[in-house]
Amino acid sequence: MNPQIRRLFLVLSLLFVALIATATYWLWRAPDLEARQGNPQLIVRELEIERGLILAADGRTPLAANRRRKLEDGRVWYLRRYPRGELTAHAVGYSTIGRSRTGLELSLNDFLTASNANLSTIIDTTLDRLRGIPREGNDVVTTLDLDAQRAAAQGLAGNCGAAVALEPSTGRVLALASSPSFDPNLVETDFDSIEAITAPCRPAAPLLDRATAGRFVPGSTFKIVTAAAALDTGTYTPESQFDDPGFCTLFGERVFNFSDQGTPAGFGRVTLADAVENSINSVFCNIGKELGADVVLEYAKRFGFYDRPPIELPSEEVLISGLYRNGRLYDPESASEVDPGRLAFGQERLVVTPLQMALVAAGVANGGVVMQPRLVERIVSPDGDVIQRFDEEEWKTAVEPSTAADLSAMMVRAVESGTGGAAQIPGISVAGKTGTAETGAAGRNNTWFIAFAPAEQPEVAVAVALSDQTGTGGATAAPIARAIIEAALGRNT
Amino acid sequence: MALRVRLPHADPFLLPLGGLLSALGITMIYRIDPELAFRQGLWVVVGVAVFVALVLFLRDYRELDNVKYILGVSAIALLVLPALPIIGRTINGATLWVDLGGPLVFQPGELAKVFFVVFLAGYLRDNREMLSYGAAGQGRLPSPKHLGPLLLIWGGAMLVLFQTRDLGGALLYFTVFLVMLYVATARWTFVAAGLALFLAGAFALYQVIPHVQDRVQGWLDPWAEPEGQSYQLVQSLYAVSSGGVFGSGLGNGVLLTPAGDPYIPFLETDFIFSAIAQELGLAGGAGVILLYLIFAYRGFRVSMLAQDGFSKLLAAGLTAALAIQAFIIIGGVVGLIPLTGITLPFVSYGGSSVVANFVLLALLLVVSDRVNRGERA
């Protein structure tokens, strides 16, 4: 029987080798497995790290902090808490065990957990391990100005929409708010209550960051881009004359001006500046037809359309603005595929984010140069050393300074005596542009206001977008923009 | 100590291997739940006591040959116990437990395994001539008369599987049976026929029992339902893969949720190898596998050195049972074969399992003492 036993042992040995080989295979697949959402391994290991704080622009107010929990076996876990709750939920995001991470908590995870390959961080973490003390993450100082942020959140409350405030000369994001919001403290413990949030839009989608990923039709705010193309190409000047019959003929059909539909009582003879001031569709429609869709789109790209704004949020949370077809970004190969008239006044399948329109306003405010938007000021090690500073960088050069100055002057008129009157602030000249975009359903308008102030020396540029509105941009969005501007400029109403 | 006095010629490797694996088991269980580790420690003490008693009082293990039919019937009786009303307990879809009130919940199947091997060793020794050569005149197939026991055991294994939903147990019994049959007769046809029957039976059961379907589906594509039926396997793979080559170190693995429960249900029993692979890494996991391989090597060596058929078959059967059991569960938790719930011998938490494996070890050592003594005499 011995040969059989020997053979048996051989087979058994092979089987055991197969076991080791299988275990090795999973080791080799470890990076794939680690990336899977349901894998608690990496997340739990990172719970043992004292995660860095996320702070407001003042460098003191914590937006994300830690809660220590002592386990039965003596280990300490650091769980996340968000002292400001709903206020900064979308920009800061959340870091949980059960529902992974979002926002800066996700995109800056390496810094927050001190996993970044930076010499001083590596030395620190190695020393910590040798001393047996928990690893400490790096703190993130954001650019968020809590006064402006609060003004934005309060203004948006009760609506579905978003607001973004930027510093035009640096690209710093002063406020980034989306409504409805949610309490990130409840994501882990009571997700049902977040799913139960309701708002005057369907779905309420409180987790969606409408400021960077909300899909809005820009409406008349896009006229700033068209006007930029009209002026910068030298085709028109602010004084160029137009005849407004109250409608524009597109493919043999009449498209009427907003607010007087069906009653073609036009403004008569007007200049380009008048058209911006009173947001006259027919004028822009004719400009669009004259310039062609390709030129208008080219200027949109110069402001950042068709490119993902390089903000520090996870790229999947930042939507690219542009023409969309069947839910996908679409860059027409030939200008004839696009209706230039409707494009010129911001309809025609355009999908934009509030962040992108804030960048348009900021570009005009900054003499035609769009600065890279950034949400992070600096990253500080536990010892207080600045590990990384995020400097201002130019992102796009949209138009000549002279064009920007002309656009600015026209936008000032729109607030002083045009559709944006609700954004007037005594003592400060505000430049702005309203927008009321039709989505094809009654009472479902997207209303807008983009602005910057003070017009002579801009310190803040904002975009406010609301969905599911019955009113106009001037009535609904402009007051919110004004409140944000006042807060950002340090004025309290 | 008792071993040195009573069995001076016993194999010097087997007991330390059992001890090492038990110690590793207690260490890992302590990591998961200190209280369970204490109870496991008590069980090991009971196991060692039974081991010592067997070594001291089992004068000649060959007497077991005389009671083989009693043992065989007892094995079947033990297996049927959990299916009885009142005392039977069903946990996680398998009916494997007997509850005699209080702390006396045990898995009779573990002990039946040892009885079963003893019975087979005796039965096959008696019938091996007939089984091997009796059929030679009628082509390659043995006569129905000699196929009878094979079919009987096959039917029994399937019945047990059907009754208790214990896939791992059925697989173990049947494999051990085939292995011993092969060792006794050296005929591949038996093994092939047995395997074919098992596969046919397994396929039939797959069609009928949803529990079996779940297990096989979960194995074929664990990522289809990572939160559902293959949750355990997926979590086990996460644990194995995150261990790296040298592991996270004892106490540093991610085994428990914030609430203090293991991520993998049955971590301390069926999935103990996942915990080992994570905290001790591939090196530790492979080390454990090698320990079983050394155990198998020493066990088979005893069998090869033995002079009489009963000793040979007994040693080979006991060794094979332990090694195959280790393969089935480790293979299950690393996704090599469909996952079935059986214990990792000596390491997993479980009183019946620990005691039964010490009984197995005692028998093996008694055989080895006799074998080595005979060799030197």
Residues from chain A that touch B248, judged by Cβ atoms under 8 A, are: 45
Question: Which residues fall within 8 angstroms of residue A34, CB to CB, at 6 or more apart?
Answer: A41, A42, B241, B242
CB within 8 Å: A1 and B320: no
Nearest residue on chain B to A33, judged by CA atoms?
A: B238
**Strand, coil or helix: what is B98?**
strand
Residues from chain B that touch A77, judged by Cβ atoms under 8 A, are: 258
Question: Which residues fall within 8 angstroms of residue A99, CB to CB, at 6 or more apart?
Answer: A187, A188, A191
Tell which CATH architecture fits domain A146-185+200-376+391-488.
Answer: 3-Layer(aba) Sandwich (3.40)
CB atoms within 10 A of CB B187: 18
Residue with token string 């999935």: B271
Residues from chain B that touch A34, judged by Cβ atoms under 8 A, are: 241-242
User: What confidence score (pLDDT) does residue A110 get?
Assistant: 83
Residues from chain A that touch B188, judged by Cβ atoms under 8 A, are: none
CB within 8 Å: A69 and B226: no
Question: How confident is the model over A260-303, as pLDDT tens digits?
Answer: 444 456 788 889 999 988 888 889 999 999 999 999 999 999 99
Q: What is the CATH superfamily name and number for domain A40-142?
A: Penicillin-binding protein 2a (Domain 2) (3.90.1310.10)
Does any CB of chain B come closer than 8 Å to the CB of residue A67? no
Minimal CA separation from A42 to chain B, in Å = 8
Instruction: Point out the residue among A2, A16, A26 whose CB comes nearest to the CB of B304.
Output: A2
Question: How confident is the model over B283-292, as pLDDT tens digits?
Answer: 888 888 899 9
CB within 8 Å: A41 and B304: no
Residues from chain A that touch B257, judged by Cβ atoms under 8 A, are: 40, 97
Residues of chain A with pLDDT under 70: 1, 34-43, 72-74, 116-134, 251-252, 258-265, 491-493
A40-142 shares its CATH topology with A146-185+200-376+391-488: no
Residue to test with chain A: of B28, B179, B242, B344, most A Cβ within 10 A = B242
CB within 8 Å: B242 and A16: no
User: What confidence score (pLDDT) does residue B6 get?
Assistant: 64
Nearest residue on chain A to B299, judged by CA atoms?
A: A9
> What range defines the domain where residue B11 resides?
2-376
Instruction: Point out the residue among A20, A26, A97 whose CB comes nearest to the CB of B289.
Output: A20
CB within 8 Å: B183 and A15: no
- Give me the percent of chain B exceeding a pLDDT of 70: 72
Residues from chain A that touch B313, judged by Cβ atoms under 8 A, are: 1
CB within 8 Å: A5 and B254: no
Residues from chain A that touch B309, judged by Cβ atoms under 8 A, are: 1
Residues from chain A that touch B258, judged by Cβ atoms under 8 A, are: 47, 69, 77, 79, 97
Does any CB of chain B come closer than 8 Å to the CB of residue A76? no
3-state secondary structure chain A: CHHHHHHHHHHHHHHHHHHHHHHHHHHHCHHHHHCCCCCHHHHHHHHCCECCCEECCCCCCEEEEEEEEECCCCCEEEEEECCCHHHHHHHHCCECCCCCECHHHHHCHHHHCCCCCCHHHHHHHHHHHHHCCCCECCEEEECCCHHHHHHHHHHHCCCEEEEEEECCCCCEEEEEEEECCCCCCHHHHCHHHHHCCCCCCCCCCCCCCHHHHCCECCHHHHHHHHHHHHHHCCCCCCCCEEEECCEEEECCEEEECCCCCCCCCCCEEEEHHHHHHHCCHHHHHHHHHHHCHHHHHHHHHHCCCCCCCCCCCCHHHCCCCEEEECCEECCCCCHHHCCHHHHHCCCCCEEECHHHHHHHHHHHHCCCEEECCECEEEEECCCCCEEEECCCCEEEECCCHHHHHHHHHHHHHHHHHCCCHHHCECCECCEEEEEEECCCCCCCEEEEEEEEECCCCCCEEEEEEEEEECCCHHHHCHHHHHHHHHHHCCCCC
Instruction: Point out the residue among A8, A18, A23 whose CB comes nearest to the CB of B300.
Output: A8
Q: Which is catalytic among the residues A220, A321, A381, A408? A: A220
Minimal CA separation from B245 to chain A, in Å = 8
Give the phi and the psi of residue A278 in degrees, each rounded to 5: -105, 5
Minimal CA separation from A7 to chain B, in Å = 9
Say how many domains are in chain B. 1
The structure's pTM equals 0.66
Give long-range contacts, CB 8 A cutoff, 24+ apart: B124-130.
B124/B180, B124/B181, B124/B184, B124/B185, B124/B309, B124/B313, B125/B65, B125/B184, B125/B308, B125/B309, B125/B310, B125/B313, B128/B184, B128/B185, B128/B309
Does any CB of chain B come closer than 8 Å to the CB of residue A45? yes
The residue extents of the domains of chain A are 40-142, 146-185+200-376+391-488
CB within 8 Å: B254 and A97: no
Q: Which of A444, A447, A442 is nearest to A480 (CA)?
A: A447
Minimal CA separation from B100 to chain A, in Å = 33
How big is chain A, counted in residues? Answer: 493
User: What confidence score (pLDDT) does residue B33 get?
Assistant: 78
CB within 8 Å: A16 and B292: yes
pLDDT tens, N- to C-terminus, chain B (377 residues)? 556 666 667 777 888 888 888 888 888 888 777 788 888 888 888 888 888 888 877 767 777 777 777 777 777 777 767 666 556 666 655 556 665 554 555 677 777 888 888 888 887 777 776 666 654 444 455 556 666 666 676 677 667 666 666 777 777 888 888 888 888 877 777 778 778 877 887 787 777 777 677 777 777 777 766 666 677 777 777 777 777 677 666 666 666 665 556 666 677 777 888 888 888 888 888 888 899 999 898 888 888 888 888 888 888 888 988 899 889 888 888 888 877 778 888 888 877 888 888 888 888 888 888 777 765 54
CB within 8 Å: B293 and A23: no
**Strand, coil or helix: what is B97?**
strand
To the query of whether residue A259 is one of the catalytic residues in this protein, the response is no
Contact A143, A482 (CB under 8 A): no
Instruction: Point out the residue among B183, B235, B241 whose CB comes nearest to the CB of A30.
Output: B241
